[in-house]
Chains A and B, each alone.
Chain A
Amino acid sequence: LGGSCANLLLSHSQITRLYSRFTSLDKGENGTLSREDFQRIPELAINPLGDRIINAFFPEGEDQVNFRGFMRTLAHFRPIEDNEKSKNPTASEPLNSRTNKLLFAFRLYDLDRDDKISRDELLQVLRMMVGVNISDEQLGSIADRTIQEADTNGDNSISFNEFIKASFVLTLHTLL
């Protein structure tokens, strides 16, 4: 665990805390978390995008996540410190960099993991966020407008680069 932890740049006490959290969520006590374990958190269960967020923890096609995977995903949300940039310029980009945070958000939209957000996918995620309170037509026009503004290469879907440009990267580090 030590080796992969170096990349995550979490302090020892943060890791201890996360491990304690992991074990308290792991009701089956088998060292992995399932989707049900996450859904037992009430504040997450009432989050409109709860299911999408939970999904981000599970690699393609798998139903269990171990502690390493748990930490990797959560490491995206550690605040960026400026002094880290100078520490090791040759190391691969730290998980919680701005780009990786945007990638996390992009993947929340990209339901089929094909690296593009289609109109359909955008609609589905919008529907999750608003519930039954907005009509199909209104939602459709919102989706159309969003794609129109973001799509620069005319393929009627939003790629990751287009997503980055559409969402402003300037002060992202204050958000997460």
Chain B
Amino acid sequence: MELFFNPFDNLVCILLGISFTVWFTLLLVFIIVPAIFGVSFGIRRLYMKTLLKIFEWATLRIERGAKEKNHLLYKPYSNAIIAREPTSLEEEIKEIRRSGSNKDLDAAPEFEMSDIFYFARRGVESIMDDEVTKRFSAEELESWNLLTRSNYNFHYISLRLTVLWGLGLLIRYGFLLPLRVTLAFTGVGLLVFLTSVVGLLPNGSENKPKNGGICVANHTSPIDVIILASDGCYAMVGQIHGGLMGVIQRSMVKACPHVWFERSEVKDRHLVAKRLSDHVEDKSKLPILIFPEGTCINNTSVMMFKKGSFEIGATVYPVAIKYDPRFGDAFWNSSKFGMVNYLLRMMSSWAIVCSVWYLPPMSREEGEDAVQFANRVKAAIARQGGLVDLLWDGGLKRGKVKDTFKEEQQKLYSKMLVGTQEDRSRS
């Protein structure tokens, strides 16, 4: 029997045992304990600085590689194919007519065959690039951050770069990923999911939401919730999910009063609105956290806020959340990836860096309806976070655009045609 016990096996067991102990001790000492006490070692800052230097070097190498092949590098934001200036329908059509004919504009007829160029050009421009569809997929980066998932220039990678990438892969999957997974399992008992939330920089803490208020923020990923929750307690409102997300939601309800609902249920919506107003009136209850966009947007813009939460009449505490995309993209493309896949990607990125701004509270003013109020709050959040303020509905991620917008365009054009006729009949 004893012949089967190889001394080598023993050695392996001992080594494993030691490494596990060392691992956990390091974990405790460097991460968990400081996190509990709010102490920082400054390791994170150093880590971030090093990473950024490496990324810059990587981008330079790629550019050099591209120049050698005599190609212009594909850059997502420069080299735009179209240059657009914002002008109105009327101005543009007048411009088209003016540049074409020698006729005096006052005597110009109501309709010109050339008017079609306005719509044709607009249409083709939107085919080449539009403001909306790109908000529902991950943001494209200016410089490569050594993650395959954000690379669009893979023709130009030199040997050195590949080695670096391989090294990065090893570090991320061999060190960072197990580290975070162990943390995750340790923390799960307390319902705390730690990815590596590095560099949380809250500003304006004097504006933190108080009881009886509603906290609204722009939505990029489920991590938004974690970040805000780690800085204050909220009651949450949101769509019921299936899978892992659903499990988390149901367990959260056991601890605190949250409001989960099914958006497609009309009956549910009225019920929810009633519950929300009851909740805010009770001053002892926690502030409600709500994401009025209704879906995850890729953190380059803020889309239309649904007016429901702005009708209730409570004080609104806006919060702007902006992720730094250079270290890892936090955006959850829920139509492409499930929760588990998303978590895996999060945990194997370099880091998640985010800035949180608490803005001064706002209330609905006299003569302002819910939609205008919502737009005002949205503009404030967009301005603070450096995001594009869009009027489009986040629901366009999954649904079609309403016909009313097309009808507006048609009305504008008709006014141009008919309006001229009225002027002419007057003179």
Contacts and interface: CB of A to CB of B under 8 A. Distances in A.
Chains A and B bind each other: yes
Interface of A: 11-14, 16-18, 20-21, 24-25, 38-50, 53, 74, 76-78, 104-105, 108-109, 125-126, 129-134, 138, 142, 145-146, 149-150, 158, 163, 166-168, 170-172, 174-176
Interface residues of B, number: 54
Interface stretch (B94-102, B246-254, B313-321, B366-374): B94-102
Contacts of A166: 113
Nearest to A78: B81
Nearest to B407: A131
B334 interface: no
Contacts of B392: 42
A125 B410 CA distance: 12
A41 B132 contact: yes
B58 to A, nearest CB: 19
Interface string B125-142: 011111111100100000
Contact of A42 (B71, B73, B121, B130): B130
Contacts of B101: 168
A42 B81 CA distance: 20
A45 B399 CA distance: 12
A74 B117 contact: no
Interface of B: 71-75, 79, 81, 96, 99-101, 109-117, 119-124, 126-134, 137, 152, 392, 396, 400-401, 405-411, 413-415, 417-418, 421
Contacts of B117: 105, 175-176
Interface of B is mostly: helix
A145 B421 CA distance: 13
Given A13-B74, A18-B128, A41-B127, A131 B410 contact: yes
A146 B123 contact: no
A133 B127 contact: no
B128 A21 contact: yes
B127 A74 contact: yes
B411 A125 contact: no
B71 to A, nearest CB: 5
A24 B418 contact: no
A19 to B, nearest CB: 9
Contact of A45 (B79, B124, B129, B406): B406
A134 B130 contact: no
A46 B393 CA distance: 14
A139 to B, nearest CB: 9
A48 B119 contact: yes
A49 B409 CA distance: 10
A16 B75 CA distance: 10
A108 B79 CA distance: 29
Nearest to A57: B127
A45 B417 contact: no
Contacts of B74: 13, 16-17, 20
A20 B75 CA distance: 11
A167 B101 CA distance: 8
B121 A134 contact: no
Given A44-B127, A145-B109, A174-B99, A104 B120 contact: yes
Contact of B120 (A20, A108, A146): A108
B119 A167 contact: no
A130 B410 contact: yes
Contacts of A78: 81
Given A14-B79, A24-B134, A40-B133, A45 B109 contact: no
Contacts of A12: 71-72
A35 B12 CA distance: 62
Given A45-B406, A74-B128, 12 more contacts: A43-B126, A43-B132, A46-B401, A50-B406, A109-B113, A132-B407, A133-B410, A146-B111, A150-B113, A158-B113, A167-B112, A171-B100
Nearest to B136: A24
The 6 A-B pairs at the shortest CB distance, nearest first, are namely A131-B410, A133-B414, A168-B100, A43-B126, A53-B123, A46-B405
Contact of B79 (A17, A38, A39): A17
Given A17-B81, A42-B401, A146-B111, A24 B133 contact: yes
Contacts of A105: 114, 116-117, 120
Contacts of B417: 130, 134, 142
A168 B25 CA distance: 80
Contacts of A163: 113
A12 B406 CA distance: 35
25 contacts: A11-B72, A12-B71, A13-B72, A24-B133, A43-B126, A45-B400, A45-B406, A47-B119, A47-B126, A47-B409, A48-B119, A48-B409, A50-B406, A74-B124, A104-B120, A105-B114, A109-B116, A134-B417, A134-B418, A138-B421, A145-B109, A149-B109, A163-B113, A167-B100, A174-B99
A115 to B, nearest CB: 16
Contacts of B130: 41-44
A86 B129 CA distance: 31
A149 B111 CA distance: 11
Which among B73, B81, B396, B414 has the greatest number of chain A C-beta atoms within 10 A? B81
A115 B36 CA distance: 76
B414 A42 contact: no
Nearest to A172: B100
A90 B413 CA distance: 42
Given A105-B120, A126-B111, A129-B119, A171 B99 contact: yes
